[in-house]
Amino acid sequence: MFDAIRPTLPNRPGVGYKAQHFNDIMADADPVGWLEIHAENYMGMGGRPLAQLRHLSEKFPFSVHGVGLSIGGEGPLDADHLARLKTLCDWLNPASFSEHLAWSTHDSAFLNDLLPLPYTAATVKRVADHIDQVQSTLGRHMLLENPSSYLAFAESDMSETDFLAEVAARTGCGLLLDVNNVFVSATNLGYSPQGYIDAYPLEHVGEIHLGGHDEDEDETGAPLLIDSHGAEVVDPVWALLDYTLAKTGPKPLLIEWDTDVPEWSVLADEARRADRALTQTAVAA
């Protein structure tokens, strides 16, 4: 592909940055080695959010994680929004830029959720075209994240893992593997999470996400897990992480906690658990 910046996050634990943790992080972030921000929260013109980033970026590598580009959208990408992402990336010079395999904007309405798309030859082309546009505009290789799914589409005729492999092959993008999303989707749609990892194009993984989810049931009593990022990572997801790391070796690991955000010590404990998983992987390798 073209001469673009490649992701350079360290193979260490990172956390999703929240403003209320600024002082804790500046004082002692151990074992956290990098921070991730949601791009859209830093698209103001100035003030405290950007001042905090300026200070933190002197000490930590950053991952800029977009939640609103609507890469899976039927319509064209929002050029204004892509320009805002470029402004942020040019200013912060993050170690990674990532976005979601999802859509959120249609007919100019932004729906503030990561909505699902069917997996077909037509949607592979649409997503790959959009990723080409993102990478050439930003001058960076991006990572594409697998979604949490609650339902399937009648028209889908390929697996999510084949879809991601095809998009990565066509665009040269890397992949952000969210193992909580794998666990949520596998439970909701009735397949094996380990089987998903076995089928996943692991050679493209540039970052792994971990987060908490909520438990519910559908109208038939079947389990329905909801991706909430509002609690500790559960043991089966840690086990799925170990299963994955045994195949990939150490990777940058992110703890996501976006609602009911706890105090820093709780988040640091989760990061320590991620750090132990990385250490065990390195010893085994």
Interacting residues toward another protein by CB under 8 A = 40-41, 43-49, 51, 67-70, 73-74, 78, 80-81, 84, 103-113, 115-116, 118, 150-155, 188-190, 218-220, 222, 224, 226
Residue 43 Cβ vs another protein, minimum distance, rounded to whole Å: 5
Q: Report d(CA 185, CA 83) in Å as an integer.
A: 32
Residue 225 Cβ vs another protein, minimum distance, rounded to whole Å: 10
> Which residue, 204 or 229, has its beta carbon nearer to another protein?
229
DSSP helix/strand/coil, 216: strand
Q: Which residue(s) pair with 109 in the sheet?
A: 106
Q: Which residues contact 87 (CB under 8 A, 6 or more apart)?
A: none
**Phi, psi at residue 175, to the nearest 5°?**
-125, 145
Residue 253 Cβ vs another protein, minimum distance, rounded to whole Å: 26
Between the alpha carbon of residue 169 and those of residues 128, 155, 193, the distances in Å are 9, 23, 23
Residue 201 Cβ vs another protein, minimum distance, rounded to whole Å: 24
Residue 185 Cβ vs another protein, minimum distance, rounded to whole Å: 11
> Which residue, 78 or 129, has its beta carbon nearer to another protein?
78
Contact yes or no for 260/231 (Cβ under 8 A): yes
> Which residue, 190 or 195, has its beta carbon nearer to another protein?
190
Residue 250 Cβ vs another protein, minimum distance, rounded to whole Å: 33
> Which residue, 115 or 202, has its beta carbon nearer to another protein?
115
Residue 218 Cβ vs another protein, minimum distance, rounded to whole Å: 5
Other CB atoms within a 10 A radius of the CB of residue 266 amount to 13
> Which residue, 28 or 107, has its beta carbon nearer to another protein?
107
Strands 62-65 and 96-100: parallel
DSSP conformation letters of 38-95? EGGGG-SSSSHHHHHHHHHTTTS-EEEE-SS--TT-SS---HHHHHHHHHHHHHH--S
> Which residue, 70 or 244, has its beta carbon nearer to another protein?
70
Q: Which residue(s) pair with 215 in the sheet?
A: 225
Q: Report d(CA 206, CA 174) in Å as an integer.
A: 6
> Which residue, 28 or 46, has its beta carbon nearer to another protein?
46
Q: Which of 92, 38, 86 is nearest to 65 (CA)?
A: 38
